[in-house]
């Protein structure tokens, strides 16, 4: 690609929209994972007893539920990202590719 083509692509409204959509998808998700994980680490460090409380009178603890939920949340968030990227970002990307990529 030549410099002019780069300029044209960079200022293309579809490209600007693509970048905005991508950033609005990955930054909040990243922040969420970091908050959940480091929140959990701090909870382990500062309030281990809280995680040891019984969940509903039985042996299973709050911490066990939290651990399993975090695993499921992580799987869910990656699934959500892929779903959103496939459905709302890829079509936009494909039109840009068709226009500029020979």
Partner 1 sequence: MKPLTSLVVVAALMVCEVTMASDGDSRPMNWNAIGMFVVFVLLTLAITRWAALRTRSTSDFYTAGGGLSGMQNGLAIAGDMISAASFLGITAMMFMSGYDGLLYSLGVLAGWPIILFLIAERLRNLGKYTFADVVSYRLEQTPVRITSAFGTLTVALLYLVAQMVGAGKLIELLFGIDYLYAVMLVGVLMVLYVTFGGMLATTWVQIIKAVMLLSGTSFMAYMVLHYFGFSTEAMFAAATQVHAKGSAIMAPGGLLSDPIDAISLGVGMMFGTAGLPHILMRFFTVRDAKQARKSVCYATGFIGYFYLLLIIIGFGAITMVGTDPVFRDAQGAIIGGGNMIAVHLAHAVGGSLFLGFISAVAFATILAVVAGLALSGASAVSHDLYACVMRKGEASEAEEMRVSRLATLVIGILAIGLGLLFESQNIAFLSGLVLAIAASVNFPVLFLSMFWSGLTTRGAVAGSLTGLICAVVLVIISPTVWVKVLGFENALFPYSNPALFSLSLAFFCAWWFSRHDDSPRADLERGRFRAQFIRSMTGIGASGARQH
What DSSP designation does 61 have?
Answer: B
Complex with partner 1: residue 13 or 46, whichever CB lies closer: 46
Among the listed residues 17, 24, 35, 74, the single contact to partner 1 using CB under 8 A: 74
User: At CA 37, angle to CA 32 and CA 43, rounded to 5?
Assistant: 125
Count how many residues are written for the chain: 102
Cβ contact 25:84 at 8 Å: yes
Among the listed residues 17, 24, 68, 88, the single contact to partner 1 using CB under 8 A: 68
Nearest to 69, CA basis, from 44, 36, 99, 97: 36
Q: Which residues of this chain interact with partner 1, rule CB under 8 A?
A: 1, 6, 9-10, 15, 18-19, 22, 25-26, 29-30, 33-34, 36-38, 40-42, 44-46, 48-49, 51-52, 58-61, 63-64, 67-68, 70-72, 74-75, 77-79, 81-82, 85-86, 90, 93, 96-97, 100-101
């Amino acid at each position: 690609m030549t410099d002019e083509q780069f300029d044209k692509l960079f200022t293309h409204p579809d490209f600007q929209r693509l970048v905005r959509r991508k950033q609005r998808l990955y930054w909040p998700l990243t922040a969420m994972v970091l908050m959940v994980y480091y929140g959990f680490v701090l909870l382990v460090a500062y309030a281990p007893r809280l995680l040891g409380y019984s969940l509903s009178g039985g042996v299973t603890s709050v911490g066990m539920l939290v651990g399993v939920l975090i695993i499921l949340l992580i799987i869910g968030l990656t699934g959500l990202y892929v779903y959103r990227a496939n459905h709302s970002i890829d079509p936009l990307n494909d039109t840009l590719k068709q226009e500029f990529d020979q």
